[in-house]
Amino acid sequence: MASTDAAPTPARARPLSPHLSVYRLTLTMVMSGLHRITGMALYASVLLLAWFLMAASMDATAFGVASGFLNSILGRLILFGFTWSLFHHMLGGIRHFIWDAGLGMDAPEREWLAWGTLIGGFVLAILVWAIGLAVYQGASVS
């Protein structure tokens, strides 16, 4: 565990770094925030995955409750959000690999990468659900 100091109490106010609100909002800033937000959303959604797996490991009744929720409209919406977050975060990670290689840091490239991540995340999520629903359409829930 990292050792952390308690926040010091200054005798007088220390100079602060510029707040977020000082800067003009740019796409790359929004993407940085979205990467973190989708990461946190994925953190929470592992609870759902654990519920689903544990229910499947128990019995048909427990599974029916979990599966029933996930296949409800609310459940489907949450799952779509989960898959979108997953793809968005994955593409964001690939963007970071490109930067780690020392590429794509100039203004036009990083704008393109940002748009590609943003649009790509939605395209992949919608594509996967379209394929999933088309292939497994009509499959009923127990």
Please tell me whether residue 19 binds another protein under the rule CB under 8 A.
no
Of 108 and 140, which CB lies nearer to another protein in the complex structure?
140
**Rg of the Cα atoms in the chain:** 21
Query: Of the candidates 28, 24, 26, which has an alpha carbon nearest to the alpha carbon of residue 118?
Result: 28
CB of 31 to another protein, least distance (A): 16
CB of 141 to another protein, least distance (A): 7
Please tell me whether residue 65 binds another protein under the rule CB under 8 A.
no
CB of 87 to another protein, least distance (A): 8
Exposure string over 51-85, b if 16+ CB within 10 A, otherwise e: eeeebeeeeeeebeebbebbeeeeeeebbeebbbb
CB of 79 to another protein, least distance (A): 7
Please tell me whether residue 2 binds another protein under the rule CB under 8 A.
yes
Please tell me whether residue 1 binds another protein under the rule CB under 8 A.
yes
Among 11, 74, 97, 106, binds another protein (CB under 8 A): 97
Per the CB < 8 A criterion, the answer to whether 55 and 63 are in contact is: yes
Q: What angle do CA 26, 28, 32 make, to 5 degrees?
A: 120
Residues found near another protein in the complex (CB under 8 A): 1-2, 4, 6-7, 36, 39-40, 42-43, 46-47, 49-50, 53-54, 56-57, 60, 63-64, 67, 70-71, 79, 83, 86-87, 90, 93-94, 96-97, 100, 128-129, 131-132, 135-136, 139-142
